[in-house]
Structure 1
Amino acid sequence: MSEARPPAHAENHRGDELAHAVAAAMYRADACSRALGFELLEVRAGYARMRATVRPDFLNGHDICHGGLIFTLADSTFAFACNSYNVNTVASGCSIEFLRPVHGGDVLIAEAIEQTLNGRTGIYDIRVTNRAGETVAMLRGKSTQIRGSVIAGS
């Protein structure tokens, strides 16, 4: 006789509850994302979505959003997705493609989706879109789990 297991949606729900708790703890500790006004919109196991409004101080000498700030939004979103299992996880490498300029006042959405998690290594794709829904950048991040957890004792 096999052991009774909860339905898959119940397991996903518990995983999502953990992801929410981890995200709340991380966001409280993430001075950079908070200072830049990044908003965490959604998180679940292996997934995160964030929003940022392009402020005047985000603009570079060409009067478009500085690529480093687009990267920072994508990287922060990546961090929330890959830490959602409550295992301390860091980026071990990233590459980004900037696909179109972003102007002041625009609203960016970054969506991180886990592609694979194998052992301690994961790969995540992060799409950044503008208010019109156009893709402005794509980041691929590789993650590595390290010792510890975001929420101790969980």
Structure 2
Amino acid sequence: MEGTAIPYKMLSLDPFSQWLGIEILECEIGKCKLGMTVRPEMLNSMQKAHGGITYSLADTAFGFAVNTNGRFAVSIETSINHIEALEAGDYITAEATLESLKNKIGFYIVEIKKENTLVALFKGVAYRTGKEWEDN
């Protein structure tokens, strides 16, 4: 399967990411940029976006990017630093970029931004299986 088509297939099979309203903005091998709008039901008790919302967008961008290399890959370690609070109506993007790729391990950085402002930074390590993505 063509690597840049894999994130679209993954999104079509992912009801959680669909519920979040995630859209694919750009996709190339080793890189994926997603966007979404923070909705009122995504806020915490302080009326700010729950940290899990930013994390989920970043984790999805990471997952999509690491799979563009054509092999099934899953996260084995991730972390996030929250820098700025978000509110309902904010449109945010997450851009995952390959930093290092080995036979079994991939390391990615994901920048989460509101407009041009960095609001969170996510780091992820993925395990790459031997199973390849297929068109069906």
- 1:88 and 2:76 matched: no
CA distance in 2, matches of 1:121, 1:36: 28
- Cα displacement string for residues 46-83 of structure 1 (whole angstroms, at most 9, x for unaligned residues): 00000010000110001000000100000000011000
Q: Counterpart in 2 of 1:111? A: 95
Map Cα deviations across residues 105-130 of structure 1 (whole Å, 9 max, x no partner): 00000000000001210100000001
Bigger Cα Rg: 1
Q: Residue in 2 aligned with 1:79?
A: 63
CA distance in 1, matches of 2:83, 2:134: 37
Question: Which residue number in structure 1 is paired with residue 36 of structure 2?
Answer: 52
* Percentage of identical aligned residues: 29
User: Is residue 66 of structure 1 aligned with residue 50 of structure 2?
Assistant: yes
Which residue of structure 2 lines up, in the alignment, with residue 122 of structure 1?
106
Contact in 2 for aligned 1:127/1:135 (Cα 8 Å): yes
Alignment TM-score, normalising by the size of structure 1 = 0.84
| More strand, by proportion | 2
List alignment gaps of at least 5 residues for structure 1: 1-16
What's the CA shift string for 1:13-41, capped at 9, x where partnerless? xxxx9222212211111111111101011
Name the counterpart of 1:143: 126
CA contact (8 A) 2:8 2:24 kept: no
By how many angstroms is 1:147 displaced? 3.7
Partner Cα distance (1:152, 1:107) in 2: 32
Task: Give the Cα separation in 2 of the matches to 1:152 and 1:102.
Answer: 37
Aligned residues: 136
Between the aligned partners of 2:68 and 2:6, the Cα distance in structure 1 is 6
Quote the offset at 1:152 in angstroms.
5.5
Deviations, residues 79-120 of structure 1 (Å, cap 9, x unaligned): 110000120000000010000101110000000000000121
CA contact (8 A) 2:82 2:120 kept: yes
1:26 matched to 2:10: yes
* TM-score scaled by length of structure 2: 0.95
Where in structure 2 are there 5+ consecutive unaligned residues?
none
